[in-house]
Amino acid sequence: MPLHLLHSLIKLFLVPLSLTLGTALAYANVDFGVGMTSAMGGRQVPSLSAAYRGAQWEFTGFATGVQNEFYFHSAYGLNGYRVWKSGLLLNGQVLSGFGLGAVYSTRGFMDTGATTEDTKADVALGPALEMLWFFAGPVYLRLEALYGLRDLGAHLTLNAQDFVHLSLGLSL
């Protein structure tokens, strides 16, 4: 995902949010990071992440993707958390969060000699957890996990998709 597109997406969500929440957002932090995510069918793939955090809430998102001449796979995640301070770990503040999240994934495959591409998209929604450790001032390590619930058949067979995202970033 190009950086200007990520910047546009962040502005798309943050501008309406800032107009509705007013002065509470004046004390919010913006985080940017790079990391790895398992949103690609369990394979660890590099990703870009961003977060917008207030005193007791946080919104996080990530984008990742791979592509070659026969295959592409992109995934995007958005989570909302209620956060609280959990204490210190090696003199670094730890924040924990619980909330809801969503992951949208699209992929396509073109078989050798085929003229059309076989594509598929998935959406997973569910409860999300996070741990955020500021180990060097504004530099943090964030671990997020989403228990993605999909269709009713998956619920009945106790089948769900876990999405884990680990990122190293900077809080501004």
pLDDT of residue 6: 52
Query: 73 has which bridge partners?
Result: 66, 107
3-state helix, strand, coil in the chain (%, to 5): 15, 65, 15
Q: Where are the alpha helices (DSSP H) in the chain?
A: 3-21, 152-156
Distance of CA 38 to the CA centre of its chain: 11
pLDDT of residue 122: 80
* Helices and strands (DSSP H and E) totals, the chain: 2, 8
Locate tokens 């058949």: which residue?
153
pLDDT of residue 31: 85
39 contact partners, CB below 8 Å, separation of at least 6: 45, 47, 62, 64, 75, 77, 103, 105, 163, 165
Nearest to 30 by CA among 39, 38, 18: 18
Please give the structure tokens belonging to residue 59.
Answer: 């919104």
- Map out the domains of the chain with their CATH numbers: 27-171 (2.40.160.20)
Question: Can you give the pLDDT of all 172 residues of the chain as single tens digits?
Answer: 455 555 555 556 555 655 555 444 455 688 888 888 877 766 777 889 999 988 889 999 998 888 887 788 888 889 999 999 888 888 888 999 999 998 888 888 877 666 666 788 888 888 999 998 999 888 989 988 888 776 556 556 655 567 788 888 888 8
pTM for the predicted model, two decimal places: 0.72
Would strands 118-136 and 92-109 be described as parallel, antiparallel, or unpaired? antiparallel
Residues 77/99, Cβ–Cβ less than 8 Å: no
